[in-house]
């Protein structure tokens, strides 16, 4: 037991150092997207679908949105195809990449087929039996690994007693993990129109082993026939991925803001820190407000609306640097021939040349 406690303290300390290192860059630079299960591990079964396929589709779509609209963020995947990746290896991929956030994507199953809805977990001690059951089910994937007993120091995923230890894991990432979790659930509930079962905590091994803020998202229940239909449809998967994307974008904005304040201010940087320059790509303008779900909204998933005099203007993408936003311009141009880069300072439109000279580009 002593050794066990010691190793946990060590793990928490290591987590602290890794996080300090990742955050010294100031901005959210890297995200790990973890599609649960894969290969010989199908995860939950629906009537006709497998969890591993549903979550991979959503994970790839999410990564694609981030790469497309937030060019300064690097996306790291634990898997991009149907392969079995041991749980510790998933954590290693995340830890080695020194990512700022870990998003593990799953789908749920329960014997009562009427139960439906999304839920997003942060690491912690379960408060209800129901939450414990989700953790047990997801952790049981380690039983498919040859050496799981050694790797996880005798942790038995099916034994309720194993989970008491998670009380110790109220770690320094909890606040950030819960922040991301609530952004995900509010996107799912309010924007995507899913039934949100809310933010929860439980002892997921994959979150325990990743030394960064992280969430485990359950996209819905494959045991519910309506949800299975939605989760296996291209449209449903795209909507869930765009909900995750918007939550991620919001999380990144908060992260970047907070880290700006934490950074020691050097004289040359004062001007940069006090004004917030953002570059976006303008794709349309209209006298009438464009309704969501119509025209431009159908072509792109990331649309930002602002008012300029009596015109409504629509932009996509966002970056702090002109060079980064320019990278995605050709792709946007395929859909919107006349699009161009514009600049904002503290959310007010300013001339592009002013912005570029202020940000030294």
204: exposed, middle or buried (Cβ count in 10 Å: 0-12, 13-18, 19+): buried
Name the minimum Å distance from CB 106 to Zn ion. Answer: 3
Out of 15, 43, 157, 213, point to the residue binding Zn ion (CB under 5 A): 43
Cβ–Cβ under 8 Å, residues 336 and 298:
no
Residue nearest to Zn ion (CB): 106
348: exposed, middle or buried (Cβ count in 10 Å: 0-12, 13-18, 19+): exposed
Q: Where are the beta strands (DSSP E) in the chain?
A: 30-35, 74-77, 101-108, 118-123, 196-202, 214-221, 277-286, 304-308, 311-319, 340-345, 348-350
Cβ–Cβ under 8 Å, residues 76 and 25:
no
What's the CA gap between 105 and 33, in Å, rounded? Answer: 8
Out of 22, 29, 36, 301, point to the residue binding Zn ion (CB under 5 A): 36
Closer residue to Zn ion (CB): 221 or 245: 221
Q: Token match 């510790």: residue?
A: 88
Name the minimum Å distance from CB 189 to Zn ion. Answer: 21
What's the CA gap between 301 and 348, in Å, rounded? Answer: 23
Closer residue to Zn ion (CB): 138 or 302: 138
How many of the chain's residues bind Zn ion (CB under 5 A)?
Answer: 4
Closer residue to Zn ion (CB): 157 or 317: 157
Name the minimum Å distance from CB 33 to Zn ion. Answer: 14
For 142, residues 6+ apart whose C-beta sits below 8 A from its C-beta are 86, 87, 148, 151, 152, 155, 157, 205
Closer residue to Zn ion (CB): 70 or 217: 217
- The residues in 124-183 that bind Zn ion, with binding defined as CB under 5 A, are 138
Q: Which of 148, 213, 164, 158 is nearest to 15 (CA)?
A: 213
Residue 38 binds Zn ion (CB under 5 A): no
| Residue 233: both structure tokens together | 């449809």
Spacing of C-alpha 262 from chain mean position: 23
Torsion, CA 347, CA 351, CA 352, CA 355, rounded to 10: -60
Among the listed ranges 29-37, 201-209, 323-331, 344-352, the one in contact with Zn ion (CB under 5 A) is 29-37
Closer residue to Zn ion (CB): 105 or 283: 105
Name the minimum Å distance from CB 261 to Zn ion. Answer: 37
Name the minimum Å distance from CB 342 to Zn ion. Answer: 42
Out of 79, 98, 106, 197, point to the residue binding Zn ion (CB under 5 A): 106
| Residue 291: both structure tokens together | 């309704």
Closer residue to Zn ion (CB): 51 or 302: 51
Name the minimum Å distance from CB 43 to Zn ion. Answer: 4
Name the minimum Å distance from CB 216 to Zn ion. Answer: 8
Closer residue to Zn ion (CB): 158 or 190: 158
- The residues in 246-285 that bind Zn ion, with binding defined as CB under 5 A, are none
Name the minimum Å distance from CB 239 to Zn ion. Answer: 20
Closer residue to Zn ion (CB): 109 or 255: 109
What are the residues binding Zn ion (CB under 5 A)? 36, 43, 106, 138
């Amino acid at each position: 037991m002593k050794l066990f406690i010691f190793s946990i303290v060590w793990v928490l300390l290591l987590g602290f150092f890794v996080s300090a290192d990742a955050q010294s860059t100031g901005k959210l630079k890297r995200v790990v997207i973890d599609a649960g299960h894969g290969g010989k591990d199908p995860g939950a079964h629906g009537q006709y679908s497998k969890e591993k396929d549903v979550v991979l589709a959503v994970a790839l779509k999410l990564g694609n949105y981030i790469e497309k609209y937030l060019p300064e963020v690097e996306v790291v995947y634990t898997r991009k195809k149907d392969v079995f990746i041991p749980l510790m290896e998933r954590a290693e991929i995340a830890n080695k990449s020194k990512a700022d956030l870990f998003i593990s994507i799953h789908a749920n199953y329960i014997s009562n087929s009427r139960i439906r809805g999304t839920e997003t977990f942060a690491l912690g001690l379960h408060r209800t039996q129901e939450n414990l059951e989700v953790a047990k089910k997801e952790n049981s994937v380690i039983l498919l690994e040859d050496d799981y007993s050694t790797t996880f120091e005798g942790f038995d995923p099916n034994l309720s007693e194993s989970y008491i230890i998670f009380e110790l894991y109220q770690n320094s990432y909890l606040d950030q993990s819960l922040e991301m979790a609530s952004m995900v659930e509010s996107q799912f509930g309010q924007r995507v129109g899913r039934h949100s079962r809310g933010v929860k905590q439980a002892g997921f091994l994959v979150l325990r082993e990743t030394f960064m803020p992280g969430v485990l998202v359950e996209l819905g229940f494959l045991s519910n026939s309506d949800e299975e239909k939605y989760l296996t449809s291209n449209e449903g998967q795209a909507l869930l991925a765009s909900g995750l994307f918007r939550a991620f974008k919001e999380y990144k904005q908060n992260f970047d803001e907070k880290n700006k304040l934490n950074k020691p201010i050097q004289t040359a940087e004062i001007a940069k820190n006090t004004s917030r320059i953002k570059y976006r790509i303008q794709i349309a303008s209209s006298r009438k407000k464009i309704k969501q779900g119509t025209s431009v909204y159908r072509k792109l998933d990331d649309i930002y609306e602002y008012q300029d005099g009596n015109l409504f203007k629509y932009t996509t993408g966002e970056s702090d640097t002109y060079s980064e936003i320019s990278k995605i311009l050709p792709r946007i141009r395929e859909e919107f021939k006349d699009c161009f880069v514009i600049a904002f300072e503290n959310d007010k439109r300013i001339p592009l040349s002013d912005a570029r000279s202020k940000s030294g580009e």
